[in-house]
């Protein structure tokens, strides 16, 4: 009987060590930035930060911050920004770790018929979305429901670079 308990103990410890390893692979600060000149004078920029922290049972807390800037070069009066901020305390966004290389970023919704989740894969520099077109429009609409400005949803085609490695 002691052998059975010992084997169970080893299995539980092996699983939890593996889970901790995978969690550690994902925890960190990730950022995406771009600035595009639309023509000679008009520009558009996008700055996004994802902070993945405190994981338990392969579910991690996520803080999301996004700024969409726009304006006319050299004209301070034309500058503006749309902003989105989802704090960890909001419990609105989380990361479900599938492995050390794959995870699912999820946004909670009050309306269960709406879903916002996207698969992501680890890259050498950070992570990127694997099939960004699947839920991009639905997720953008849900973020607007959270009070986020237009165009502040995650940049589905870009690579988020890890800043703290």
Kindly report, residue by residue over 26-66, the tens digit of the pLDDT: 999 999 888 787 788 888 888 889 999 989 999 999 998 98
Decide if 35 contacts 45 (C-beta within 8 A).
yes
Closest CA to 46 of 120, 141, 157: 157
Domain count for the chain: 1
Tell me which of 76 and 58 has the higher pLDDT: 58
How many beta carbons lie within 10 A of that of residue 139, not counting itself?
23
pLDDT at 21: 54
How many beta carbons lie within 10 A of that of residue 52, not counting itself?
24
Question: Pseudo-torsion of CA 117, 118, 119, 120, nearest 10°?
Answer: -130
Q: Rounded to an integer, what distance in angstroms lies between the CA atom of residue 57 and that of residue 59?
A: 6
Q: pLDDT tens, 89-145?
A: 888 889 999 999 999 988 876 666 666 788 899 999 999 988 765 656 667 667 766
**DSSP, residue by residue, 50-95:** EEEEEEETTEEEEEEEEEEEEEETTEEEEEEEEEEEE-GGGT-EEE
- Domain range for 152 is 2-162
Q: pLDDT tens, 6-26?
A: 454 444 444 444 445 577 889
pTM, rounded to two decimals:
0.74
- Say whether pLDDT at 164 is over 80: no
CA angle 21, 24, 29 (to 5 degrees): 165
């Amino acid at each position: 009987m002691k052998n059975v308990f010992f084997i169970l103990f080893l299995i539980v410890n092996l699983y939890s060590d593996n889970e901790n390893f995978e969690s550690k692979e994902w925890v960190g600060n990730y950022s995406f930035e771009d600035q595009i000149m639309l023509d000679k004078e008009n520009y558009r920029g996008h700055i996004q930060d994802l902070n993945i922290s405190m994981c338990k049972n392969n579910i991690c807390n996520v803080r999301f911050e996004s700024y969409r800037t726009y304006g006319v070069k050299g004209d301070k009066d034309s500058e503006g920004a749309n902003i989105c901020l989802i704090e960890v305390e909001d419990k609105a966004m989380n990361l479900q770790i599938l492995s050390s290389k794959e995870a699912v970023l999820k946004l909670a919704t009050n309306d269960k018929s709406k879903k916002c989740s996207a698969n992501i894969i680890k890259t050498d520099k950070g992570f990127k979305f694997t099939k960004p077109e699947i839920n991009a429009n639905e997720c953008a609409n849900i973020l607007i429901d959270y009070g986020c400005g237009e165009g502040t949803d995650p940049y589905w085609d870009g690579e988020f670079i890890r800043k703290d490695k």
